[in-house]
Amino acid sequence: MRTSVMSQMQRSFSIDLPSLIPLQLPSRRETHLWYILPDEVKSTSLLKRYSQFLSPIEKDRVDQMRGDELKKNALLARTLVRTTIARYQTNKAVDPGSLMFKKNMYGKPEVDWQNCKNYNVQPLHFNISHTDSLIACGVTVHAPVGIDVEDKERKIKHDVLAFAKRFYTTDEVNFLATILDPEAQRKEFIKLWTLKEAYVKALGKGFSAAPFNTFTIQSKPGTEGGYSLCKTSEVTANPLEKTEECNGRWKFDLLELAGSHYAAVCTEDDQADEGAPMRVIVRKTIPFVEDQLISERIFL
Partner 1 sequence: MASMATASTSLQARPRQMATAVRCFSQGSRNNLSFTLRQLPTRLSVSCAAKPETVDKVCEVVKKQLSLKAGDEVTAATKFAALGADSLDTVEIVMGLEEAFDIEMAEDKAQNIATVEEAAELIEEILKEKA
Q: How many residues bind partner 1 (CB under 8 A)?
A: 25
Check residue 101 for interaction with partner 1 (CB under 8 A): no
Check residue 44 for interaction with partner 1 (CB under 8 A): no
Task: Return the exposure string of 200-236: e unless at least 16 CB atoms fall within 10 Å of the residue's CB, then b.
Answer: bbbbbeeeeebebbebbbbbeeeeebbbbbeebeeee
Near partner 1 by CB under 8 A: residue from 131, 216, 219, 285: 131
**DSSP 8-state symbol, 17:** P
Near partner 1 by CB under 8 A: residue from 154, 220, 242, 279: 154
Query: Contact region for partner 1 (CB under 8 A) — 124-132, 137-145, 219-227, 238-246?
Result: 124-132
- Contact of 299 with 227, CB cutoff 8 Å: no
- Other beta carbons within 10 angstroms of residue 123's beta carbon come to 9
Q: What x/- string results for residues 248 through 287 when contact with partner 1 is judged by CB under 8 A?
A: ----------------------------------------
Query: Contact region for partner 1 (CB under 8 A) — 26-34, 154-162, 174-182, 269-277?
Result: 154-162
Whole-number Å distance between alpha carbons of 196 and 189: 11
Check residue 64 for interaction with partner 1 (CB under 8 A): yes
Q: How many residues can be counted in the chain?
A: 300
β-partners of residue 264 are 148, 254
Check residue 66 for interaction with partner 1 (CB under 8 A): yes
What is the smallest separation between the CB atom of 132 and partner 1, expressed in angstroms? 7
What is the smallest separation between the CB atom of 117 and partner 1, expressed in angstroms? 32
297: nearest Cα among 275, 274, 278, 283? 278
Query: Contact region for partner 1 (CB under 8 A) — 31-39, 63-71, 85-93, 247-255?
Result: 63-71
- Contact of 298 with 277, CB cutoff 8 Å: yes
Q: What x/- string results for residues 194 through 213 when contact with partner 1 is judged by CB under 8 A?
A: ---x--------xxx--xxx
What is the smallest separation between the CB atom of 32 and partner 1, expressed in angstroms? 22
Check residue 150 for interaction with partner 1 (CB under 8 A): yes
Cα–chain-centroid distance for residue 95? 23
Near partner 1 by CB under 8 A: residue from 105, 118, 158, 259: 158
- Segment holding 252, helix H or strand E: strand 244-257
**Residue 250 burial (10 A CB sphere; 0-12, 13-18, 19+):** buried
Q: Which is nearer to partner 1, 77 or 141 (CB)?
A: 77
What is the smallest separation between the CB atom of 217 and partner 1, expressed in angstroms? 16
Report CA-CA distances (Å) from 15 to 43, 167, 266, 288.
11, 49, 38, 12
- Contact footprint for partner 1 (CB under 8 A): 64-67, 70, 130-132, 148, 150, 154, 156-158, 163, 166-167, 193, 197, 206-208, 211-213
